[in-house]
Amino acid sequence: MEKNQRFTITSALPYTNGPIHIGHLAGAYLPADIYARYKRLCENDVAFICGSDEHGVAISIKAKQEGSSVKSIIDKYHNLIKDTFQEFGISFDNYSRTSNAIHHETSKQFFRKLDQDNCFEIKNTQQLYDENEEQFLADRFIEGECPKCGFEKAYGDQCENCGASLSPDDLINPKSKLSGSKPVLKETKHWYLPLGNYEDFLNKWIIEGKKGIWKPNVYGQVKSWIDQGLESRAISRDLDWGIPIPRDDAKGKVMYVWFDAPIGYISSTKEWAKRESKNWEDYWKKSDTKLIHFIGKDNIVFHCIIFPSILEAHGEFILPENVPANEFLNLEGRKISTSNNWAIWLHEYLNDFKDMQDSLRYTLTVNSPESKDNDFTWKDFQSRNNNELVAILGNYINRVFILTEKYFNNVVPKYEEIDSNQIIKIYDYVSLISSSLDKFKFRDAVNHLIDLARTGNKYLADKEPWKLYKENNIKEVEQILYISLETCALISILSEPFIPNSAKKIRDIMDINLVNWTRLKSTNQIIQPGHKIKKSNLIFRKIEDDEIENQLRKLNSNIKG
């Protein structure tokens, strides 16, 4: 459990070409939020940074599909995504957008610095061109068969089926997504980042320096890329939407979205620092700052190879301490597909399960795709909620509160002698949960939380205070109920990163404040005898079968393919 450290924590910038779904939440935002909340509770200096990615071809495609302007698309989805994050308690310190002037200027500064230092190659190449639409086709405007897996709707930069990174000329039978016609090759000029120049740096920094530190799935993917040899990557595009390349001979060229989007972390930090009267450079240039990127596995190459190479080329910025990327979350045994509407949209979940954000947060955490792809099912969601949150955690807390009301009129009882063994046992969970979170093992951490409730439940069952009360052994009952209330108070603190709304409900009933984890010691109890708690309410509610059946019908009726 680190204290007095400085952390810059980022989540991948979501594209504003549509709403976000459970796969996004499970991959990059929920684990980052849990980690940021935890680090704040350990008295660290945390900047949790994100923002909407509002450039790139995906936005232009959406605007064309909806017959709308790019501006109206990015405004619509930026607001929807930002509101959704707030509803789910994702505690960003700043949520910006890449259309802001501060981001444009920061990105241009990066380009100018690298251009001035001769970090780019300029090449004239043959690129695919749509003669019907009279424009060059950016990667996402091209669709064809993936040469790796045979998927027929792979994009020009990536196959969403197998995750392979591609270039447009890799595709078999490519066609334009604008007109459906077969594109032709036409000469154009672009700026390239020669990644091969950074292989020695990447080998020393990652292959030698991060082995056994980074997650095996992340390290393995990066090593595979580097072992194959890195090629130059274009950082400019022929588009009418994006950040213009700041050169007189680059008319009509904009920055490739994967050049400017990660710089969005820096521009968003600048925005936050100005508002909070902080120095943004402390969070990006000081060697004692720990930079952590939370992403999905499809973004590993950009955050572990391309963006670090850009930072290294610039020369003034720190490199990520860790990139704990998750694998993919599937849905009911199938890959989530936004184009086929095979997804659970978070804004719709909020309407269907009002005030139950924590039930989804919990299920996605305990079922997180940390090291391999995992599957979300509605039945499992119901089971996790009913059998764990309701039957274990909620039931334990409710039992303790009811017994306190019944025997002591909602006043925390005094005790003559504390049960030190039980106090030590429950406080062992502080280090168990902390250790798991420090290792980015969020599933283990939340399972320890449930085990703490099980430990409390077993203590009650073994001690049977209801029998002792009938036998007039009041002193023993006082001790047992005090220990049990202390356990509830501890749960209300340790559950804060995972289920913050429910944690606050427990603390509100107990009328206690959130306590920093550095104060959580067996010799330093949270509650004191004589403290008055409020009348209890149920923390969680059961999910009925018909609610789940409705969701399954909705999912299957909406699918497009």
3-class secondary structure for 149-196?
A: CCCCCEECCECCCCCCECCHHHCEEEEECCCCCCCEEEEEEEEEEEHH
Beta strands 6-11 and 45-52, pairing class: parallel
pLDDT one digit per residue (tens) for the chain, 561 residues: 788 999 999 999 999 999 999 999 999 999 999 999 999 999 999 999 999 999 987 788 788 878 899 999 999 999 999 999 999 999 999 999 999 999 999 999 999 999 999 999 999 988 889 999 888 887 778 999 999 999 998 988 888 788 787 888 889 999 998 889 999 999 999 999 999 999 999 999 999 999 999 999 999 999 999 999 999 999 999 888 899 999 999 998 999 999 999 999 999 999 999 999 999 999 999 999 999 999 999 999 999 999 999 999 999 999 999 999 999 999 999 999 988 899 999 999 999 999 999 999 999 999 999 989 999 999 999 999 999 999 999 999 999 999 999 999 999 999 988 999 999 999 999 999 999 999 999 999 999 999 999 999 999 999 999 999 999 999 999 999 999 999 999 999 999 999 999 999 999 999 999 999 999 999 999 999 999 999 999 999 999 999 999 999 999 997 765
d(CA 182, CA 173): 8
d(CA 373, CA 537): 37
d(CA 548, CA 433): 31
Question: Does residue 89 come out as left (phi exceeding 0), alpha (psi in the -120 to 50 range) or beta?
Answer: left
Cβ-proximal residues to 64 (8 Å cutoff; 6+ apart), any chain: 178
Q: Which residue has the tokens 């010799």?
A: 523
Cβ-proximal residues to 174 (8 Å cutoff; 6+ apart), any chain: 128, 142, 143, 144, 156, 168, 182, 183
Beta strands 94-97 and 232-234, pairing class: unpaired
Supply the DSSP symbol for 414: P
Two tokens, residue 379: 């039945």
d(CA 159, CA 151): 8
Which helix (H) or strand (E) segment is 290 a member of? strand 289-294
The structure's pTM equals 0.94
Q: What is the pLDDT of residue 561?
A: 54
Q: How many CA atoms does the CB half-sphere of 5 hold within 13 Å? A: 20
Burial 315-353 (b: 16+ CB within 10 A, else e): eebbebebbbbbbbbbbbeeebbbeeebbbbbeebbeeb
Alpha helices in 291-419, H assignment, sequence order:
300-301, 307-314, 346-352, 357-366, 378-384, 395-408
d(CA 253, CA 234): 11
Which domains are present in the chain? 6-111+257-346 (3.40.50.620), 119-238 (2.170.220.10), 373-519 (1.10.730.10)
Q: What is the pLDDT of residue 560?
A: 67
DSSP per position, 460-473 = HHHH-HHHHHHTT-
**Other CB atoms closer than 10 Å to residue 246's CB: what's the count?**
16
